[in-house]
Structures are given as C-alpha cells and as structure tokens.
Structure 1
Amino acid sequence: MPDNFPTLEFPASIVDLKHPLDNFRAALAGTGPVRIVAMGSSSTAGLDNVVAYPARLELYLRKHFKEHDQRPNIRIDVFNRGKGGEEANLEVPRFNDDIFADNPSLVLWQVGTNAVFRQKEFNFNEVVRKIAEGLKLLRDHPTIDVVLIDPQYTTAMQYDDNAELAEKMVSAIRAAAQDAEVNLFQRWALMRHWHVYNKASFEQLVAPDDGLLLHQSDWNTMHVARALRSALLKATGATQKCGCLITTADNAPAAPPAPVGQS
C-alpha cells in the first residue's frame, strides 16, 4: 500500500447525523454498562489483518469518556454481531438473540454490500424490504436508537456488474432511513469523498491482502470509526472538549453523485 496517505476531510454534510440519539444519551448519563450492538456482515465482523470498526469504536468512546468527558460510572461495550456474507434477510431473524437480548441503547446496522457484491445470491428487492422491516422492529423498541450504515466504496463495488446496483442500493438505504426516521451514517459518500476530493487511492482504501478488493483497509477503517465516533458524540449533544469531534464545516463540499454505471 502506498505510504503517502492523504489528509482526509470529514464534511459535516456527510458525517453528521440528522436525529438526536436520546436513548444512547440517557444511557451515557446513567450508571453501569452502556451497550451498543453492531449488526452487519464482514466489514462489521472484521478481517484477520484489519481491526474491525466496532472494536475501534469501543476503544475510541471509552477513551473519550475516560479522558475528556469523565464519567467514571459507565462502561461502554460494543458487541460485534457481524457475520460475513450475510444480508438484511438473514440478519433480521437474528435480532431477538443478537440485539434485543442484550438490551442495547444503540444499534449500528450495516447493510447493503452483499446484495450488490453477491447479487446472484440475494434478491435486491427482498433485501430492501427486509431493511424496512428491520428498521421498524428497531424503531418500535422504546429504549433503542438506530444508526443505519450503508456500503463501503471500494474497488469491487465499482465493477461494471456492481456499480449501477451499488448506487441503487445506496439510494434505497437512504430512502429506508428517511421513511423510518432513523439516522444514516453515509459510509459510501464519505469514502467516495476521500477518493474523489482527497485523492485517496483504492490501494489505500482497500485491504492489501483482500483478493476480493471488497474490504476496507485498516487505515480506512480507522478513519471511518473516528468519523462514526464524532457523529455519535455530536448526536448526543457533546461539545468540543477534545479532538474527537472531527467533522468539518460544509466548506469542504461533498463529492457529487456518480453518473449511473460510473465510479
């Protein structure tokens, strides 16, 4: 992987969440463990040589509330419920055992990648329906906040057979989040911004030992986790006590949508 990593921007228009995280904020104000469940596929589960984003997020949040916003009575646990190769239609049936049983105050649900990358194995419309069904189940829970996470912008998602479907999936996920009035963390747009505006190469964005050219590199995952920490903290009403709130103003424009079929 090239060593000349670019400086990355974190435009507020991409990173910031639209809705407050009231349940998560209440849990942070209490005592005892604060539980987050990360549901998803392989980019949640992690690879051998990449520290998965849930582990990084747990570390970053614990550090923030230990060093910068000291809350000695809480402990943040991020439970990783990622399973490689799955999609929403396989994940929703796991909600009872892998989400609700742990009584989290926040659920991070990463969806959409395998419906594109493994499109012969999954029915696109069924996956979209299951995303909507899963969001309703999560949103109807009185003590859970939800953040939906869309696909990663990597080489494999730009192949000719995948590019158009990937844009379609990103749009469908955005619409599902809007309809359910839940937060969307725009991983696709953020990584695309880094590639288009900040000149981060796909060699830098993709794990170097991933023959599929699908999964994020450790460097990429680290910065996505930092952006997600910033988004979560701001949505709980955090103020700038440290460098944890990294989003920039909108003077760093978001990359425009790609024409259909182009990356």
Structure 2
Amino acid sequence: MTATASAVDAQCNTQRQIFTAHGTLAAVKAKIADDKAVRILAIGSSSTEGVGASSPDHSYPAQLEDDLSVLWRDEVRVINAGKGGETVIQTIERLEAALKADKFDLVIWQVGTNDAIKGVSEDAFRALLERGVGAVQQAGTPMILLDQQYFPAIKDLPRYERFVKTVSELGSERKVSVFSRYTLMQDWNSHSASELRSMLSTDGFHMGDKGYDCLAGHMADAIDTMAKLPVAEAKLDVNAGQSLRDR
C-alpha cells in the first residue's frame, strides 16, 4: 500500500472537519503487523443496518469491511449490529450485552438521530450516551462515535443540532473519537441540493448506496490513520477533506 492510498472516492471529498481522533489504535496496528484478523462492532439504528441501501452488501458496515480489507490487505470483519428505529436506550442494552459476550478491536456507535426526532429529552440522551461510552471504555475497547445524519426535513433544527453538539462535547470530554456524519452531509447539501439527494435513498432520509459508500470510505481512512499514527500524534484533529495520509 502506498503512503497516499485512500478509500475515499473523489466525488465524496469534503474540505470540512469531519473526524476528531482521540488516542490510537495500537492493538489494531499490532494485529495488522501480525496478519491477524481485526474485528469491529458497528452498532446503531437504521443507518447501520443499511435501510435505504439496495442490498445488505451496500450498507456502510459491509462497505467499510471491504475498504479496510483493501487498505490493509488483511482480514477484517465488521459486524453489523444495526437495528432500525432504535433510540439510545434500546441500542445501549444491546451494546452492553455484546461487550459482555465478545471481544472487539473497535466499536463504532452510530447514535442520536432517532432520539432527536422522537422527543427523547436532551438530558436523558446525554446520560445514556455517557453510560454507553463508559461501558465501552470499561471493556478496554477503542471507540468511535458516529453522530447524527443531516437531512432536508429536520423540523426543529436548533433542538436537533443540540443533540449533535452533545455527541461532540461528550467525545471531547471522554476522549472518544467522533466522526461527524452531520457535517459531512451538510457539506454535500451546501454544494447543491441535488448532490445531497444523490447520496440519499428515495425516502429523502436514509442514505442510499452512494451515500453509504462515501461514509464507509471516509470512515475507513479515519480508522486507517488512527491505526498508523504514533501515540503522540493521535490526539490531533484529522481533516478528512484529503487523503488522511497526505497530511
């Protein structure tokens, strides 16, 4: 693999800050070096399950598995634990059970969209998010929080963006990496409404194949960078507007 390898297609590029890394993936780096399989738990609601994709193979976890396998030329398993319609209280119970039942090299928790639109209180959301982060950290597993999606029909934008901010703030406080899907999708919309539509499924809410492909590519680059950065550099914010290894 060359130093400039990237999983992100040119049409997916963004110049906005979409990923903030805290810590490093030293155990993942060691597994790559030893040609051992890397196991990633992707948990969340419909965006993880892949609602809106033409098939399960086009969900973001499936495409992330493919992208990382190419980048690392090694065996990668991304377990798709997405379940459509869940709010954080439902997902957290499955997350805690998964951590007790198995061992993972990384957890990606897609969280918060349904809570924001279904009327969950902001205080309850924050408390449960902190509970989930605590459970993953107690298990000694690195974690990435994947924040809320942007979509054109957000009814109460100030409330919705407070939920987005909660994910960012908690990530900073607890030193957990955060991938801002909200910022990425906002950027697509700022270019043109048609660009955002091209990333969405016909329901205008969930991503379609192209959107999931772009999300997976950016996520793969972010994970790859975390696995390769020295510990001293791994707390730097990562600008995913370019190949992450070109910085």
TM bucket, shorter chain: 0.7 to 0.9
Q: Distance in 2 between matches of 1:99 and 1:83?
A: 17
Look up the SS of the partner of 2:216 in the other structure.
helix
Q: How has the CA–CA distance of structure 1 residues 88 and 26 changed in structure 2, closer, same or farther, with 3 Å as cutoff?
A: farther
Letter in 2 for 1:176: L
Q: Is the 8 A contact 2:16 2:240 kept in 1?
A: no
Name the stretch that deviates more: 45-54 or 179-188. Answer: 45-54
Task: Report the alpha carbon displacement of residue 179 of structure 1 after superposing the two structures with TM.
Answer: 1.2
Which of 139, 142, 166 in structure 2 is aligned with 1:141? 139
Instruction: Tell whether 2:43 aligns with 1:49.
Output: no
Q: Distance in 1 between matches of 2:205 and 2:217?
A: 20
Name the stretch that deviates more: 13-22 or 57-66. Answer: 13-22
Q: How has the CA–CA distance of structure 1 residues 185 and 200 changed in structure 2, closer, same or farther, with 3 Å as cutoff?
A: farther
Task: Report the alpha carbon displacement of residue 186 of structure 1 after superposing the two structures with TM.
Answer: 0.9
Q: Is the 8 A contact 1:56 1:225 kept in 2?
A: yes
Larger radius of gyration, structure 1 or 2?
1
The aligned length equals 224
* CA RMSD after TM alignment: 2.6
Aligned residue runs from structure 1 range 172-191, under 5 A: 172-191=166-185
Aligned residue runs from structure 1 range 158-237, under 5 A: 158=154, 160-161=155-156, 163-197=157-191, 200-208=194-202, 210=203, 213-237=204-228
Name the stretch that deviates more: 189-198 or 39-48. Answer: 189-198
Q: Distance in 1 between matches of 2:167 and 2:20?
A: 17
Q: Is the 8 A contact 1:27 1:105 kept in 2?
A: no
Partner of residue 33, structure 2: 29
Look up the SS of the partner of 1:179 in the other structure.
helix
Letter in 2 for 1:86: E
Q: Is the 8 A contact 1:9 1:194 kept in 2?
A: no
Question: Unaligned stretches of 5+ in structure 2?
Answer: 1-9, 230-238
Partner of residue 151, structure 2: 154
Look up the SS of the partner of 2:24 in the other structure.
coil
Q: Is the 8 A contact 1:44 1:80 kept in 2?
A: yes
Partner of residue 18, structure 2: 14
Task: Report the alpha carbon displacement of residue 52 of structure 1 after superposing the two structures with TM.
Answer: 1.1
Task: Report the alpha carbon displacement of residue 249 of structure 1 after superposing the two structures with TM.
Answer: 8.1
Q: Is the 8 A contact 1:7 1:198 kept in 2?
A: no
Q: How has the CA–CA distance of structure 1 residues 178 and 246 changed in structure 2, closer, same or farther, with 3 Å as cutoff?
A: closer
Q: Distance in 2 between matches of 1:7 and 1:80?
A: 26
Q: Distance in 2 between matches of 1:80 and 1:60?
A: 15
Q: Is the 8 A contact 1:12 1:248 kept in 2?
A: no
Q: How has the CA–CA distance of structure 1 residues 178 and 16 changed in structure 2, closer, same or farther, with 3 Å as cutoff?
A: closer
Q: How has the CA–CA distance of structure 1 residues 90 and 106 changed in structure 2, closer, same or farther, with 3 Å as cutoff?
A: same
Letter in 1 for 2:66: L
Task: Report the alpha carbon displacement of residue 97 of structure 1 after superposing the two structures with TM.
Answer: 2.9
Length-normalised TM-score, structure 1: 0.76
Q: Is the 8 A contact 2:13 2:242 kept in 1?
A: yes
Task: Report the alpha carbon displacement of residue 219 of structure 1 after superposing the two structures with TM.
Answer: 0.9
Which of 66, 70, 89 in structure 2 is aligned with 1:63? 70
Q: Distance in 2 between matches of 1:171 and 1:246?
A: 19
Partner of residue 3, structure 2: none
State the structure with bigger RCO (CA 8 A, min sep 6), 1 or 2.
2
Look up the SS of the partner of 1:20 in the other structure.
coil
